Structure 1
Amino acid sequence: MSAVDELVATMARLRGPGGCPWDAQQTHRSLVTHLLEEAHELVEAIEAEGPDGQGADPHAPADDAHLVEELGDVLLQVVFHAEIARAEGRFDLDDVARRLTEKLRSRHPHVFGDVEVSGADEVVANWDALKRAEKAERTSALDGIPASLPALALAAKTMSRARRAGLALPAEPEAAATDEAALGRELLALVRGADARGLDAERALRAATRALADDLRAQERTAG
């Protein structure tokens, strides 16, 4: 039995008769908070390694054991959701893996087909085109962006999609930061200023991003 098969069997045992009462009562919705927490813990473990795969101390080795543990916790969420669905007769982990493999193969025709690409930028462009073709029901380049993303990620995703779709974005400030360290300080200063004035920076950015998205969708309607 492979390690993955053993994991699936363990999850089924936990949710089956005589298993764990807590595991047995979980639903897709009840696990959402845990999925978010585990994803954030994985991000923390990755970022703790630093840009060169090293820890905060450049002389310290990367903590592979920590990364393996956090990857496992995220994998558990996938297996947990798949087991809930399997018990309901809907799909199982094999179906999830099979659909993912199909997507990877169809989105990489330069690897699994006869399409030639000149570099990573063309790969991204092809990916976007294939995704649009697969999701023809979408009417906007902004469709499919999760509204639950943190405000900064939501703003970045919205502007990235708009830029790739050729939509006009607000002009950048003249004195923009030129590296991530300077950008971090600018963002921190903005949040500090907002807090001093009793303003909610997260809510403010989310509202501004919604307004931007409305403007971008209006551009698409006009262009269409």
Structure 2
Amino acid sequence: MLPSRDISRLIEIMAALRAPVGGCPWDVEQDFKSIAPYTIEEAYEVADAIARSDLDDLREELGDLLLQVVYHARMAEEAGEFSFGDVVEGITKKMIRRHPHVFGDTEARSAGMAKGMWEKIKAEEKAEKRAARLARGLDPEDNGKGYLDGVPLAFPALTRALKLQEKAARVGFDWGDATPILDKIEEEIAELRVAISARDQAATEDEFGDVLFALVNFARHLKIDPEAALSGTNDKFRTRFHLVEAALRAQGRSLQDATLEEMEEEWQRAKAVR
């Protein structure tokens, strides 16, 4: 089998890998749950290539991410649920429907994206989903999910906390402003201290999570993306630590040779630089 620019070749390759006879044993034994972590990992690697402005890497990582889509679609097709073509049809239908000012008739294109149109389109999509559930003999209003269950479990924890809070805020479950959240953070820290003093590891973990959740809430009210803020701090720490390492190397020493006091001294110098 030869490489190709045609998506059908990738679909053929995945079908061959998943073939019970003659396929790859590892690929054959996988299921949706076992592959999901790889899907998330590939999405992060796409984001990493973009952050590094490495377009060669981006091309490769996009291919890896596309493979994940084909992989899931192949497993669904084997189960008789849907195929890759159904995935493509679904997303093209959604994009066309959601952009009548681009793909609609002459009148729709000339009108532009009217106010309230997005909400109207989303409402129509929800109505279609309810009708589909009804056609399958299911309760159209009960999909087994609560109001917040639409926030994906696979999101990074900080991002998921932010999305949960944003969604709850849409129905009025929110602080009026940022000021009282500081008091809440101090309250949660006090409870964390109590758990630490009691040497209760489970309670300590629980209270630590409450502190982080309150900090995310505070960030949201300050219009700060907590994931982006922490990512920036991670990069800052890495840069400063690299300067500490470089300074020690210039002295003919390694990190392992230096004392904490010596590393702290170089850290303070690094802070003045970055």
Q: Scaled by the length of structure 1, what TM-score is found?
A: 0.62
Deviation at 1:162, TM superposition (A): 5.2
Q: Which residue of 2 aligns with 1:14?
A: 17
Deviation at 1:126, TM superposition (A): 3.4
Q: Which has the higher helix share?
A: 2
Match of 2:150 among 138, 144, 147: 144
Q: Do the aligned partners of 2:18 and 2:24 also contact (CA within 8 Å) in 1?
A: yes
- Distance in 1 between the 2:7 and 2:30 partners? 21
Q: Which residue of 1 aligns with 2:33?
A: 29
Amino acid corresponding to residue 6 of structure 2 in structure 1: A
* Paired residue secondary structure (1:171): coil
Amino acid corresponding to residue 46 of structure 1 in structure 2: I
Higher gyration radius (CA)? 2
* Paired residue secondary structure (2:150): coil
Q: Which residue of 2 aligns with 1:78?
A: 69
CA offsets per residue over residues 143-186 of structure 1, 9 Å max, x none?
A: 522234223212332344456x4736313436xxxxxxxxxxxx
Distance 1:94 1:79, change over 3 A: same
Q: Do the aligned partners of 1:152 and 1:205 also contact (CA within 8 Å) in 2?
A: no
Q: Do the aligned partners of 1:42 and 1:67 also contact (CA within 8 Å) in 2?
A: yes
User: Quick one: higher RCO (CA 8 Å, sep 6+), 1 or 2?
Assistant: 1
Q: Which runs of 5+ in 2 are unaligned?
A: 128-140, 180-191, 218-274
* Paired residue secondary structure (1:29): helix
Q: Do the aligned partners of 1:145 and 1:157 also contact (CA within 8 Å) in 2?
A: yes
- Distance in 1 between the 2:45 and 2:212 partners? 23
Deviation at 1:14, TM superposition (A): 1.1
2:74 is aligned with 1:69: no
Q: Percent identity?
A: 37
* Paired residue secondary structure (2:33): coil
Amino acid corresponding to residue 94 of structure 2 in structure 1: K
- Distance in 2 between the 1:204 and 1:26 partners? 36
* Paired residue secondary structure (2:210): helix
Q: Do the aligned partners of 1:162 and 1:168 also contact (CA within 8 Å) in 2?
A: yes
2:161 is aligned with 1:170: no
- Distance in 2 between the 1:155 and 1:108 partners? 30
Count of residue pairs brought into register by the alignment: 175
Distance 1:95 1:20, change over 3 A: same
RMSD: 3.7
